[in-house]
């Protein structure tokens, strides 16, 4: 906004005597000129000439008076014109100020009207929001009541109502997922209809964790601690911070082709569990897990894996890639365990591990250190074509079956201090390993 023009000085009224004074000045000036010229005319020698000069003197005096009066009249006319122009400017300024004032009044009225409109819109929106929230709360409470029914069919309808509610209201999805997880954590009854209700709840959870489906609920974490799951199928899901601590998983539990982020806590009891083609940057924690069937990590590509104290009947890590340090300390493999063509880009620790069956590390790559101290191999241990790019330590390991290192490459001399191997079978050791006989049953490996 431009600055307002400076105020004009107030107009001073010309006093009446100033005009009279001007007139007297004009007369006095004419009289002085007339007196001067008449005096000059009286000095003329010839009478005719003196008369002519006196007439000219009178004419000149009158002309001076008339000229002076005309000049005064011109000044008064100029002042009148200046006053008229100033009056015009004043009228224009007053009109402009009046228009600006009217514009400000109009803008203020419009602002007040707009503020009132916005207030009404906010009130209407708040009323609509409150109505929607009340309706949502009523639907949610009604669905929870159905889930709590004694009739399995009614509970099934309540679960579907919750699912529809979450599909239509993204903000309610974490709460609804928490309710479904809590339902699965509740003690299960032996009724076959209840089993179907629980399977439906499982399918609802996993259905909305698949990005290729139309009902994906991204960023949902599952808390299934202590739950009882039957044929839990999370294949192809996007898993974020899944917790199965203390859960009992019957049938086949599948995470095949899933994408994992955060941390997967899987200290549960499994029958068969499949992690084939599992990818992501998650840390998969199977500490103290129990698997009575087969566990498979074939072609999995993960950040880190921890299986401390876990127990597996049969395990397969064919072509798996573990990009961060992984640990199997104190784990137990009751059946065969194959790590064929697996890649451990971080360190691998298998201390105090028990392999009761075949242990196969055919063409396995250990990019960092590999620790097998105090590990017990109950059957054959095959390291054919394995690549040890870091330190390898087999100190105090026990080999009950054949050991094969044909084609294995070791960047450093392996540490085998006080390791023992059965003397009843033939072994193929890495170069620079010193083998001595302890008695008729055992061979002793020592570092040179």
Task: Tell me what the mean pLDDT of segment 421-434 comes to.
Answer: 92
More confident residue, 233 or 30: 233
Residue 391's pLDDT is 95
Q: Confidence class of residue 75 from pLDDT cuts 50, 70 and 90?
A: confident
- What whole-number percentage of the chain has pLDDT above 90? 57
In the beta sheet, which residues pair with residue 312? Answer: 291, 333
- What whole-number percentage of the chain has pLDDT above 70? 88
What distance in Å separates the CA atoms of residue 38 and residue 61, rounded to the nearest whole number?
10
Task: Tell me what the mean pLDDT of segment 216-233 comes to.
Answer: 93
Task: Tell me what the mean pLDDT of segment 126-154 comes to.
Answer: 82
Residue 10's pLDDT is 64
For residue 116, pLDDT beyond 60? yes
Residue 22's pLDDT is 67
In the beta sheet, which residues pair with residue 434? Answer: 446
More confident residue, 194 or 62: 194
Q: Are 75 and 58 in contact (CB under 8 A)?
A: no
> Taking the CB of residue 164, how many other CB atoms lie within 10 A of it?
13
For residue 320, pLDDT beyond 70? yes
> Poorest-confidence range of 92-101, 237-246, 309-318?
92-101
Element (H, E) at 61: helix 47-147
Task: Tell me what the mean pLDDT of segment 25-29 comes to.
Answer: 71
For residue 426, pLDDT beyond 90? yes
Compute the residue count for the chain.
448
For residue 2, pLDDT beyond 60? no
Q: How far is CA 352 from the centre of its chain?
A: 43
Task: Tell me what the mean pLDDT of segment 397-401 comes to.
Answer: 97
For residue 190, pLDDT beyond 90? no
Residue with tokens 């294949």, as numbered in its chain? 235
Task: Specify the pTM.
Answer: 0.73
Contacts of 10 (CB under 8 A, 6+ apart): none
For residue 381, pLDDT beyond 90? yes
Residue 288's pLDDT is 97
Report which listed range, 50-64, 93-107, 132-146, 269-283, is most confident: 269-283
Q: Confidence class of residue 13 from pLDDT cuts 50, 70 and 90?
A: low
Q: Are 291 and 313 in contact (CB under 8 A)?
A: yes
Residue 300's pLDDT is 97
Q: Confidence class of residue 235 from pLDDT cuts 50, 70 and 90?
A: very high
Task: Tell me what the mean pLDDT of segment 194-213 comes to.
Answer: 89
Q: Confidence class of residue 438 from pLDDT cuts 50, 70 and 90?
A: confident
More confident residue, 284 or 193: 284
DSSP at 415: B
DSSP string, 162-224: HHHHHHH-GGGHHHHHHHHHHHHHSPPPS-HHHHHHHHHHHHHHHHTT-TTSTT--TT-EEE-
The mean predicted confidence, pLDDT, of the chain is 88
Task: Tell me what the mean pLDDT of segment 304-333 comes to.
Answer: 97
**pLDDT per position as a tens digit, 297-308:** 999 999 999 999
What distance in Å separates the CA atoms of residue 288 and residue 292, rounded to the nearest whole number?
13
Residue 37's pLDDT is 64
For residue 331, pLDDT beyond 70? yes
More confident residue, 327 or 73: 327
Residue 372's pLDDT is 97
For residue 333, pLDDT beyond 80? yes
């Amino acid at each position: 906004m431009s600055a307002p023009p400076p105020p004009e000085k107030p107009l001073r009224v010309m006093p009446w005597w100033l005009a009279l004074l001007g007139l007297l000045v004009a007369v006095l000036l004419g009289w002085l000129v007339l007196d001067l010229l008449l005096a000059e005319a009286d000095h003329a020698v010839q009478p005719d000439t003196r008369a002519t000069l006196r007439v000219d003197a009178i004419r000149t005096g009158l002309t001076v008076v008339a000229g002076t009066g005309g000049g005064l009249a011109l000044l008064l006319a100029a002042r009148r014109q200046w006053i008229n122009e100033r009056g015009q400017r004043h009228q224009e300024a007053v009109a402009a100020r009046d228009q600006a004032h009217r514009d400000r009044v109009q803008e203020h009225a419009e602002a007040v009207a707009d503020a009132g409109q916005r207030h009404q819109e906010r009130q209407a929106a708040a009323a609509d929001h409150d109505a929607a929230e009340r309706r949502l709360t009523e639907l949610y409470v009604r669905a929870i009541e159905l889930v709590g029914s004694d009739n399995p069919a009614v509970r099934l309808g309540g679960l579907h109502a919750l699912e529809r509610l979450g599909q239509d209201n993204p903000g309610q999805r974490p709460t609804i997922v928490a309710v479904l997880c809590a339902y699965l954590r509740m003690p299960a009854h032996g009724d076959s209809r209840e089993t179907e209700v629980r399977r439906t709840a499982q399918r609802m959870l996993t259905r909305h964790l698949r990005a290729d489906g139309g009902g994906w609920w991204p960023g949902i974490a599952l808390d299934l601690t202590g739950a009882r799951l039957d044929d839990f199928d999370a294949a192809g899901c996007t898993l974020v911070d899944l917790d199965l601590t203390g859960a009992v998983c019957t049938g086949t539990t599948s995470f095949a082709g899933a994408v994992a982020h955060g941390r997967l806590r899987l200290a549960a009891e499994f029958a068969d569990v499949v992690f084939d083609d599992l990818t992501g940057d998650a840390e998969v924690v199977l500490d103290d897990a129990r698997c009575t069937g087969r566990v498979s990590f074939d072609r999995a590509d993960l950040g880190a894996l921890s299986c401390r104290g876990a127990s597996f009947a049969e395990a397969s890590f064919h072509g798996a890639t573990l990009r961060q340090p992984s640990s199997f300390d104190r784990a137990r493999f009751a059946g065969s365990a194959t790590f064929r063509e697996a890649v451990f880009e971080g360190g691998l620790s298998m201390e105090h591990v028990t392999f009761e069956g075949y242990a196969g590390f055919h063409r396995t790559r250990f990019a960092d250190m590999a620790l097998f101290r105090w590990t017990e191999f109950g059957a054959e241990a095959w390291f054919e074509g394995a690549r040890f790019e870091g330190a390898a330590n087999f100190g105090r390991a026990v080999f009950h079956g054949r050991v094969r290192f044909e084609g294995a490459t070791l960047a450093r001399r392996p540490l085998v201090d006080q390791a023992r191997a059965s003397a009843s079978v033939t072994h193929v050791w890495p170069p620079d390993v010193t083998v001595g006989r302890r008695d008729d049953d055992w061979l002793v490996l020592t570092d040179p």
